[in-house]
Chains A and B, each alone.
Chain A
């Protein structure tokens, strides 16, 4: 792939890299003619106040939408500069030259519950029904870095994900699955380096060469502080661990995605689409800066960064968000961070439909919501997709609900003609205008974050958290005032509704068994070796020149548990407490 020479290539280093088209540009004679004709059309049609319904006419993020979009909204639009061709800078139309004609998106359903053996069974079920890749959901104690027998884990073990304490659980989780053939995504962030360490130690024990492993570690510490709130250490040591794992992957694991920079949870926490986009990209830029500070060449690690976005209800806004995301990332990577390889400019991303858009009322309706959200992801050019199950506001999904969700993707992929052509919505006046607008909003939000002192300081000040809370509260009030209709919730309600779908229940016995197995494991391992390895890790944690991945893997190989590994580093890193505000 060669670099395209476009007018945007002339952007000066560090110069404002705002939206590339849109308002403020003089109209061409042709556009002036259209604008005049449009004004005449408006004059001869009834006033909008007379004919329009009483509705917000806003995107779900609260942006006003015009009644009509015409070429005049794209004044200054330059096809080659703003869109270009698929697989080439600025990647607005997608990162692959052939779109989905070459390769479909990966159907990757997130799964995890109960014990490692329970989840292993679900993995085999999903693979047997045509799923391509695995994605692991861990329980909350694992997400926070606690062992199953920690008093704080009581009642949470295996409940909303799989319980993971040691290399033993990791072995069970992937039993019968060839890790060199199936890629694995692990949704773990605060203690990502630890759980990855368990995964790598297990792979090494099985004789799998690390460079053959393909997969994704979510490993996005920032978004935990901003939105998901499952942290392990305070922001600054958390960033060190992220950079350690990026460095380790860069040196040893060329097929591994070292961070999945995630907007999904930011959106689920109540942000707008523009906030999701801007906060996520800014997190990404900050990781890039931190890795460069470590001395890594941007082109050695940037190609292995990937992204993860939400697919919410506002169909066009979501598509615009994905297209804008690619364009912004490409421009910053090339012009600000001076990446030279096109692989460093292109944004690969996973999409998950919006859990927060699902309703507990009339849950079957969620199949429809999810299908259309998934469609937005596909039309936005996602590389992989998780479609939610209809029952997720009630419990973890049942086998049947998961299968319908997977079938939804297969219908999108094979029945609807969506994959015949690349980026089919390009050139839509509305979609291109929304793409420009959301890009401009993101650039403005980048400046606000910088004004807060950057990502880490904005986290420490609670700025992101407040911005998201305000957006979510505004949305809630709109719903309660019925300015926004949610079918089955504030309109079309069935007051005598009986929920009639099977619910997956986690047996409390899972926790007891897990705790007992952990106790047995602690008794049977070589405790001297475990202690020595943990002590070595503690020592390395106190020395900022050391990459912590090798001592973490060594401790994991000696059957140290997640909580023990956490505690070994906690001596130096401490704990994090978020100021409680609302």
Chain B
């Protein structure tokens, strides 16, 4: 792929745990992605606005506060409402297998739990982008 993969790393909600998001952002950068990091305490609207403005391929959310069952669907619905259905919505955080399953059934991409190597997320995004080339 000639064009760099563009990823928005987002921290929606009030959660302040940014260690994971920043580590993942740095790993994405080192893997050659173009990374936009939203910073902390973003509303779903702010995340989606940034994703559209930056014209990203992937929206990767980090949520460790337990609000994932609210925030993932909220952001997914907003992306759909704004016509940004070509973007992959993925992420990571502290989520039970049951919650991951529910979100997956809703069409949200792979979610990475604690201990996941950043290389797994990088490989997943590369594969997804290769399978979903930009028009």
Q: Please, how many angstroms separate the alpha-carbon atoms of A503 and B38 in the complex?
A: 31
Q: Out of B29, B69, B113, B115, which one reaches A155, CB within 8 Å?
A: B69
Interface residues of B in 1-40 (CB under 8 A from A): 9, 13-19, 21-23, 25-27, 29, 35, 37-40
Asked if A580 and B115 sit within 8 Å, CB to CB, the answer is: no
- Contact of A394 with B26 at beta-carbon distance under 8 Å, contacts A229-B18, A229-B40, A580-B38 already known: no
- Contact of A155 with B71 at beta-carbon distance under 8 Å, contacts A360-B113, A395-B96 already known: yes
Confirm or deny: A472 has a beta carbon within 8 angstroms of a beta carbon on chain B.
yes
Asked if B115 and A140 sit within 8 Å, CB to CB, the answer is: no
Tell me which residues across on chain B come within 8 A of A230, comparing CB atoms: 14, 16
Q: Please, how many angstroms separate the alpha-carbon atoms of A146 and B13 in the complex?
A: 12
Q: Interface size on A (CB < 8 Å)? A: 50
Confirm or deny: A368 has a beta carbon within 8 angstroms of a beta carbon on chain B.
no
Confirm or deny: A269 has a beta carbon within 8 angstroms of a beta carbon on chain B.
yes
Confirm or deny: B53 has a beta carbon within 8 angstroms of a beta carbon on chain A.
no
Binary interface profile of B, 86-97, with partner A (CB < 8 Å = 1, else 0)? 000000001011
Interface residues of B in 59-76 (CB under 8 A from A): 65-67, 69-71, 74
Asked if A144 and B14 sit within 8 Å, CB to CB, the answer is: yes
Confirm or deny: A270 has a beta carbon within 8 angstroms of a beta carbon on chain B.
yes
Confirm or deny: B107 has a beta carbon within 8 angstroms of a beta carbon on chain A.
no
Q: Please, how many angstroms separate the alpha-carbon atoms of A574 and B29 in the complex?
A: 34
Confirm or deny: B119 has a beta carbon within 8 angstroms of a beta carbon on chain A.
yes
Confirm or deny: A48 has a beta carbon within 8 angstroms of a beta carbon on chain B.
no
Asked if A228 and B16 sit within 8 Å, CB to CB, the answer is: yes
Tell me which residues across on chain A come within 8 A of B97, comparing CB atoms: 499
Confirm or deny: A286 has a beta carbon within 8 angstroms of a beta carbon on chain B.
no
CB closest chain-B residue, reference A228: B16
Highest count of chain A CB atoms <10 Å: which of B14, B29, B40, B67: B14
Confirm or deny: A448 has a beta carbon within 8 angstroms of a beta carbon on chain B.
no
Interface residues of B in 86-133 (CB under 8 A from A): 94, 96-97, 113-115, 117-119
Confirm or deny: A125 has a beta carbon within 8 angstroms of a beta carbon on chain B.
no
Tell me which residues across on chain A come within 8 A of B94, comparing CB atoms: 393-395
Tell me which residues across on chain B come within 8 A of A229, comparing CB atoms: 16-18, 40-41
- Tell me the minimal C-beta distance from B121 to chain A in angstroms: 11
Tell me which residues across on chain B come within 8 A of A359, comparing CB atoms: 114-115
Q: Out of B13, B35, B114, B119, which one reaches A360, CB within 8 Å?
A: B114
Q: Please, how many angstroms separate the alpha-carbon atoms of A522 and B88 in the complex?
A: 42
Interface residues of A in 19-60 (CB under 8 A from B): none
| 30 chain-A/chain-B pairs, Cβ below 8 angstroms | A140-B15, A140-B16, A143-B14, A143-B16, A144-B41, A146-B14, A152-B13, A152-B43, A154-B70, A155-B13, A155-B67, A155-B74, A156-B65, A156-B66, A159-B65, A160-B66, A228-B16, A229-B18, A229-B41, A230-B14, A393-B94, A393-B114, A469-B22, A473-B26, A480-B119, A503-B96, A577-B39, A580-B37, A582-B9, A582-B26
A interface, CB within 8 angstroms of B:
140-141, 143-144, 146, 151-156, 159-160, 224, 228-230, 268-270, 356, 358-361, 393-396, 469, 472-473, 476, 479-480, 486, 488-490, 499, 503, 505-506, 508, 577-582
B interface, CB within 8 angstroms of A:
9, 13-19, 21-23, 25-27, 29, 35, 37-41, 43, 65-67, 69-71, 74, 94, 96-97, 113-115, 117-119
